[in-house]
Structure 1
Amino acid sequence: MTAEALANVDRATEALQSVSERAPNLRALISSNENIREEAERVDRGYASLTGRVIVIKDNIDTIDLPTTCGSFALDRTARDADLVVRLRRAGVLTLGKANLSEWSHFRAPRAPRGWSARGGLTQNPFVLDRTAGGSSSGSAALVAAGVVDLAIGTETDASIVEPAAFCGVVGLKPTVGRISQDGIVPISHTMDTAGPITRTVRDAGILLDVISTTMRGEQGETAATFATSSAASARGMRVGLLSRDYWTERVPGLDEFVDAVIEVIGASGADIVDELAVPNLDILGQSGLQGLVQNSEFGPALAGYLAGRGTPGPRSLEDLIRFNNEHPELEMAHFGQEAWLACLDAPSTESAEYKDAVARIIELGGVHGLDAALRDAAADVLIAPLFGLPWKADVDGGMLCRVSWAADPLTAASTAGYPVMTVPIGSRYGLPVGMTILGTAWSERKMLAVAASIERGLDLDLRPGFLTTVPEEAPASVRDYSE
């Protein structure tokens, strides 16, 4: 096992060196583990499927041996491991380092760049270097896409695992909120936050989810099947709902071609397809502003609780962090401000009726009267759609990376309800990946893994990044110039 672990470390470090030569400004790794070889030499136990495997961890997750900064100069080291890191270490996983991210998980200002942090700079997309890698788990997805590692951990409040995974042509899984402990992870909203796997294959996503989960429950409360078992299963006998093409975009030519291929392989696996489904109440949810109210109310108290548990000197409140940024604008505010944080100072208390009503309402609109209603009306097990299209051009100084994907409304429903979301690669166009998003109800990860595995096996893709400077000239202007 030690020899295999050392070989894995050598492969990862050699791949990192190769990538740094091809893309010297990829900026996906924010800190490196200088002791990884010594740790590999001590590997002699653990979970057979992961012992000696190499991983990167998003830099908002506490690790006692590496800094945990959330991309900010306001934070440095902690004196603890997050619960999921403890589980990873017990499984014998070796940490290559911490992955860059959208600073503060893209929760400091509405006009903030995807994949940029003060400490790490702007993460590039390994497929086409002038394109966004998505956010906020940008570094995690980029390092898997670049072939440095096969395993990574990201976190998500709303699309922060599945967006970068889709944009980087890898597998991303945001679990049901509550499946994975948030202990030792920089928070935004306990109603919507969760960590999850970003991997090269569906099977690895299932194996990693087995390791980091604190509960194995399923939709009916069952706990027998592992996620690894589900990720090797098929969609036979399932009913898969294809979301209406109204959720897609006309800006990216040829999405129908990829969807048709997915429908064919899902059908060949023995599943039924239900076409043109809609998720009700998305307009009401989006226009209500309640998701923002909940996040703003929860952030300050949750952040103070997290900071108190770091066990090292540093800021202890949102006010402390706002003060730090004001005192170090050259470090922290060269590209955007902290308007979202200032709004949190005036948010309703988490003890208020306004906040409690807002939580109940977004869970109802996104879940019971949203995704659950769509699934129930079609008698479907999961919903699918290519919700992200192609990644847009990155321009940190122009503030071009501030938007959620133009077709993200069903994802917002999943976020507010705390439901799982997954993405799996389905092809590439103009050198850029295309991903298929899979949505389900609470605790339905096993179904989603089975559908994703059927897509992966049926398409049998081998997407590898080209590290292109920009998209080819034959790409239409809508793709060449697409930036938001």
Structure 2
Amino acid sequence: MVNRRYSWHAAAGAMGFCLMQSVCAALPEQDDLVSLSQQMQQGKQTAVGLLDRYTQRIQRQNPALYAVIAMNPEARSQAQTADQKKSHRSPLHGIPVLIKDNIDAAGMPTTAGSLALAENVATADAPLVARLRAAGVVIAGKTNLSEWANFRSTTATSGWSSVGGQVRNPYATDRSPCGSSSGSGAAVAARLIPAAIGTETDGSIVCPAAVNGLVGVKPTLGLVSRSGIVPLSHSQDTAGPMTLTVRDAALLLNVMAGSDPADVATRDADRLRTYDYTMGLSKTGLQGKRLGVVRKLVDSYDAETKAVFERALKTLKSRGAVIVDQVELAYLDELEKDELTVLLYEFKADLNTYLEHAPASVQTRSMEQVIAYNKQYADKLMPYFGQELMEQAQATGDLNTPEYREASARLKQRAGTEGIDATLKKYQLDALIAPTTGTAWAIDYKAGDVIEGSASSPAAIAGYPHVTVPMGLSKQLPVGLSFFAEAWSDAKLLKLAYAYEQARPALPAPKIAK
């Protein structure tokens, strides 16, 4: 059927199930980037030693999680090179990181989870990967993801791909890791790696971060280059860090952010991002800040999740925040239809452009050919759900079609100018807050994803930043607190999230991380 070139495919083995009542292992402090950086700079740890440590964890734990899709065969030589450097290039020098398998890393396939791209071996690093390497980061491998960034079927199950199988939530492996950066979230939560890079179109960083008990940053669109990433929507796609702490996320964003001549959206990144994102992170960062509670993004959750959120509000108040309740965010109910229209048009146009420039070894050169390939090998590629979204996308016109242009214009105005911007101004707010999403739902291929709610869409559609930070356990599963605000407010949101993180009890690690 397909040349299975995944002899180095790490996502194999029997499933393992942890009990939800047994998730209270202590957080291994040495796994955060700040601690690892200190160990490296003090000569207490080497890049090779760190890589070996995490590789052993992956070999031991990944068969239960399917979080890592491939290991980088050049990682050890890169770690050896890092150890030979006389001075550290950055605080992340020598530290291993995983990247989502829709991001190019030279010499490795970029599959987007689909066997249709099994031969899509990257000839160069994506710019964000090049930035990581320049900072001395060791690219340890690739993470599994929801195939085609979870935009193949209306009944898809998050975390499943034909290349990597089903990603499992390390807090309870019968539960969803959320998508599409599911492998990145599960890998970091299980301490298979200290940090990972995900991508988001709408919710695909913040949702897996929240349900896996992590910090996730969906940056302002244009802060991080999208070149060398399998696209879904140029209006909404962006990459971002997924980490154990807010400071770790800031460290990674320092390296990832910057202008890229090949990505027009990033033209202002160097000019507008001229500071260290770790500067100003303080326990007093909430003092006097006005935070607006979007109750419409709270109402859908169960009583226990709502109770965790109410405790978070008390914590925010205790650190000096002014909570403005019952904030109304316009057009929440009107965004979904236009968003789907825009995503369908852009997925077809953007993927076709990407595939046209893919290596000659890639046989599927258009969305139409991908659809045909999926049908031809349906037993392997569509065992649980179909490709209705791809077929709907294929049926759209080009990006000059009035339907697309009108929907796109409405979306940006309603989510951005008349939505988040207007609400911040009306209530004189520093940021908007809500639960990121509910608890992880059961993996069920017949039911698909059953999500209680989400705070991701307004910022995702507007192209504005969104930070999620763990706020506790509901039904013994992690839930996250979202902060979102205007464009280029990434640093402000990190400061708010950090101050909250320092005030609330530490989240327990999953038992599998021990």
| Same fold (TM > 0.5) | yes
C-alpha contact 1:128 1:466 (8 A) present in aligned 2:
no
Structure 2: distance between partners of 1:465 and 1:218:
40
The separation in 2 between residues aligned to 1:222 and 1:63, in whole angstroms, is 27
Q: Is the 8 A contact 2:98 2:197 kept in 1?
A: yes
Q: Is the contact between residue 294 and residue 355 of structure 1 (CA under 8 Å) also seen in structure 2?
A: yes
1:395 aligns with 2:439: no
Once superposed, what is the RMSD of the aligned Cα atoms?
2.2
Amino acid at match of 1:253: A
Q: How does 1:238-277 map to 2 (within 5 A)?
A: 238-244=289-295, 246-249=296-299, 252-277=302-327
Deviations 1:318-361 (A, max 9, x none): 11211211211111111111111111122132022332221110
Give the Cα–Cα distance (whole angstroms) in 2 for the partners of residues 196 and 207 of structure 1: 12
Is the alpha carbon distance of 1:232 and 1:13 closer, same or farther for their aligned partners in structure 2, counting shifts above 3 Å? farther
Go from structure 1 to structure 2 and tell me whether the alpha carbon gap of 1:182 and 1:251 turns closer, same or farther (over 3 Å shift): closer
Q: Is the 8 A contact 1:240 1:381 kept in 2?
A: yes
Tell me what 2:190 maps to. Answer: 146
Q: Does 1:456 align with 2:501?
A: yes
Q: d(CA) in 1 for partners of 2:268 and 2:313?
A: 26
- Segment drifting more, 234-243 vs 251-260: 251-260
- Residue 472 of structure 1 corresponds to which residue in structure 2? none
1:112 is matched with which residue: 156, 159, 165?
156
Distance in 1 between the 2:175 and 2:274 partners? Answer: 42
Map of 1:51 onto structure 2: 93
Question: Within the alignment, does 1:301 sit opposite 2:349 as a pair?
Answer: yes
Closer, same or farther: CA 34–251 of 1 in aligned 2, 3 Å: same
2:452 alignment partner, one of 403, 406, 422: 406
CA contact (8 A) 1:129 1:467 kept: no
Match of 1:4 in 2: 46
Say whether the 8 Å CA contact 2:470–2:507 is kept in structure 1.
no
User: What runs of 5+ residues in structure 2 fail to find an aligned partner?
Assistant: 1-39, 260-265
Q: List per-residue Cα deviations over 1:226-268 (Å, max 9, x = no partner).
A: 2122445722332111221x42256533234423332233233
Label 1:231 to 1:120 Cα distance change in 2 as closer, same or farther (>3 A): farther
Give the SS at the match of 1:42.
helix
Matched, 1:202 2:276: no
Deviation at 1:90, TM superposition (A): 0.6
Measured against aligned partners, the alpha-carbon deviations of 1:307-326 in whole angstroms (never above 9, x if no partner) come to 23333421221112112112
- Structure 1 residues 296 and 154 mapped into 2: Cα distance closer, same or farther (>3 Å)? same
- Give SS of 2:383's match: coil
CA distance in 2, matches of 1:126, 1:236: 35
Q: Name which of structure 1's ranges 3-12 and 51-60 shifts more when overlaid on structure 2.
A: 3-12
Which of 265, 268, 279 is the matching residue for 1:229?
Answer: 279
Supply the distance in 2 between the matched residues of 1:447 and 1:437 (Cα, whole angstroms): 13
Residues 86 and 224 of structure 1: is their aligned pair in 2 closer, same or farther, counting only changes over 3 Å?
A: closer
The answer to whether residue 339 in structure 2 is matched with residue 291 in structure 1 is yes
Letter in 2 for 1:331: K
- Equivalent in the alignment of 1:28: 67
The alpha carbon displacement at 1:188 in A equals 0.7
Q: Show the counterpart of 2:379.
A: 330
**Letter aligned with residue 5 of structure 1:** A
Q: Which residue of 2 aligns with 1:479?
A: none
Corresponding residue SS for 1:192: coil
The answer (yes or no) to whether the contact 1:79–1:312 under 8 Å persists in 2 is no
- Map of 1:301-380 to 2, 5 A cutoff? 301-314=349-362, 315-380=364-429
2:113 counterpart letter in structure 1: G
Tell me which of 136, 154, 172 is aligned to 1:92. 136
Secondary structure at the residue paired with 1:62? coil
Match of 1:17 among 37, 44, 59: 59
Contact 2:213 2:507 in 1 (8 A): no
SS in 2 for 1:214: coil
CA 1:151/1:127 → structure 2, altered by over 3 Å: closer, same or farther?
same
Moved over 4 A (4+): 215-219, 230-233
Q: Secondary structure at the match of 2:410?
A: helix
Equivalent runs, 1:201-220 vs 2, <5 Å: 201-215=245-259
- After superposition, the Cα gap between the structure-2 partners of 1:224 and 1:270, relative to the gap in structure 1 and judged at 3 Å, is farther
Cα deviation code 1:428-447 (max 9, x no counterpart)? 13331111111111111111
Distance 1:207 1:217, change over 3 A: farther
Runs (5+) with no aligned partner, structure 1: 469-484
Distance in 1, matches of 2:52 and 2:422, equals 49
Letter in 1 for 2:114: S
The DSSP-based 3-state class of the residue aligned with 1:140 is helix
Matches of 2:268 and 2:104, distance apart in 1 = 28
SS in 2 for 1:184: coil
Could you say which residue in structure 2 is the equivalent of 1:424? 469
* Deviation larger for 112-121 or 349-358: 349-358
Is the alpha carbon distance of 1:90 and 1:222 closer, same or farther for their aligned partners in structure 2, counting shifts above 3 Å?
closer
**Identical-pair percentage:** 38
Aligned to 2:114: 72
Q: Deviations over 1:387-438 (max 9, x none)?
A: 4121110123x1422x5x3322x42222221111111001113331111111
| Aligned 8 A contact 1:248 1:387 in 2 | no
Work out the number of aligned pairs and report it. 457
Question: What is the distance in 1 between the residues matched to 2:70 and 2:215?
Answer: 23
TM-score relative to the length of structure 1: 0.89
Residue matched to 1:481: none
CA contact (8 A) 1:172 1:198 kept: yes
